[in-house]
Amino acid sequence: MQDNGKPKIELGLEGVYFTESGICKVDGVNGRLYYYGYSIETLAENSNFEEVCYLLLNGRLPNAAELSGFRNSLAQERPLPDEVAGLIEDSPKDAHPMDVLRSAVSVMALYDPDANDNSDAANMRKSIRLVSRLASAVGAIGGCRNGIGYVKPDSSMGAAGNFFYMLTGKKPDAEAVKVLDLMLLLHAEHSSNASTFSGIVTAATLSDLYSAVTSAIGTLKGPLHGGADQAALEMMHAIGRPENTEVYINDALAGKKKIMGFGHRVYKTYDPRARIIKNRLEILQGSANEEVRNLTSIALAAEKLMIDKLGSSHGIWPNVDFFSGPVYTDLGIPDYLFTPLFAASRIPGWCAHVMQYWKSNRLVRPLEYYNGELDTQYVPISQR
């Protein structure tokens, strides 16, 4: 309690711990990120998305036989139920892709025999299905939007390769698959972020995994969370040319407008994922087409300006969202799929946290301080 008898309100639950976990460590002071103790730099250099999915769901890295079996399980679950594919095909073409994805996940539950079985074994089976099918669903949404329709998934490919195949109907370029696999890996987990927390809140009522993931997708849709990479790219398009960057940034800061892709609730220094993606941007400056080179030049110019103005003084640094847009653009991925791809990346983290929380489940029920009137007199409607 404060001196006036009012409890201290932590807006946005900032700085409040609600559980403990060994899944992910976000060191916001030193700019470090770990999945089960492995640094993100180590995983980005040596691992891949499927292996990281196994790590997050099982708490350890697999041996060769285990990874092969896990990949086979993912491949077997990659096809979408006909009803889910039909929903995606029949969705209005102007519907928000995250709304389509959220609805698709809800429909997936209707055709999963394990949907309401909350045993450990059933939840692991559902996690594997969700990891595999979310990537297929996002590819299907893209394919239906770009006019080629629903392309049945290719179970011989991994998540990244199959996504490209469903998006374009063509076998993907190996280098593009490698880059997208890295992006999926970097977004796979990030502790108790907003979407993970909302999934846990749903799961804590002893609801089911599909309901928890649906909640998480709804939370991820917002521009202050998963939609930030698309918003950052839209800003780069608004800037237009690298030489316009300084004027745009100065005007935005003077008008107290938020610069999307900068600042983070936890990181008070450079986001380590952003550093990894920035390396890719620097490669693109010398190899990409003119549009992408222009976007990367704007991004790097904006980064320098923002760091000079607000980095050390205000702790506002680039986060993972800022550099993602130009990389996805170079891969030929339309901006409306950025946030759905984020969901397809984050699904192993969501499932891992939900399953862990259930091991010592407690209903999430924070308090709200009431500051309204009491015993208000009711006036009949005839006298109002």
309-330 residue pLDDT tens: 887 778 788 888 888 989 999 9
Mean per-residue pLDDT of the chain = 93
Residue in the block written with tokens 């109002």:
384
DSSP state of 370: -
For the annotated catalytic residues, the residue numbers are: 225, 264, 321
Question: What's the whole-model pTM score?
Answer: 0.93
The secondary structure element, H or E, covering residue 248 is: helix 245-254
- The answer to whether the CB of 322 falls within 8 A of the CB of 275 is no
Is the confidence at residue 289, as pLDDT, over 90? no
Torsion of CA 335, 263, 266, 59, to 10 degrees: 30
Are 196 and 204 in contact by the 8 Å Cβ rule? The answer is no
Burial 52-69 (b: 16+ CB within 10 A, else e): bbbbbbeeeebeeeeeee
Of 6-15, 173-182, 363-372, which range is least confident?
Answer: 6-15
Give the torsion through C-alpha atoms of 80, 86, 90, 96, to 10 deg.
Answer: -20
| pLDDT single digits (tens) 216-258 | 999 999 888 888 888 889 999 999 999 999 999 999 888 888 8
Which residue, 228, 257, 217, 187, is CA-closest to 321?
Answer: 228
Q: What phi-psi label fits residue 178: left (phi over 0), alpha (psi between -120 and 50 degrees) or beta?
A: alpha
- pLDDT value for 4: 67
Largest interatomic CA distance in the chain: 78
pLDDT digits (tens, 9 = 90+) for 82-123: 999 999 999 999 999 999 999 999 999 999 999 999 999 999
Q: Where are the beta strands (DSSP E) in the chain?
A: 24-27, 32-35, 38-39
Question: Contact, 362 vs 69, CB < 8 A?
Answer: no
Q: How far apart are CA 153 and CA 175, in angstroms?
A: 20
The pLDDT of residue 352 is above 80: yes
pLDDT tens figures, 146-201: 999 999 999 899 999 999 999 999 999 999 999 999 999 999 999 999 999 999 99
Nearest to 56 by CA among 188, 156, 157: 188
Q: How far apart are CA 346 and CA 91, in angstroms?
A: 24
The CATH architecture annotation of domain 228-330 reads Orthogonal Bundle (1.10)
> Taking 90 as the threshold, does the pLDDT of residue 52 lie above it?
yes
Mean per-residue pLDDT, 46-64: 98
Bridge partners of 24? 35
Q: pLDDT > 90: what percent of the chain?
A: 72
pLDDT of 268: 81
Domain limits, the chain: 228-330
Q: How confident is the model at residue 14 (pLDDT cuts 50, 70, 90)?
A: confident
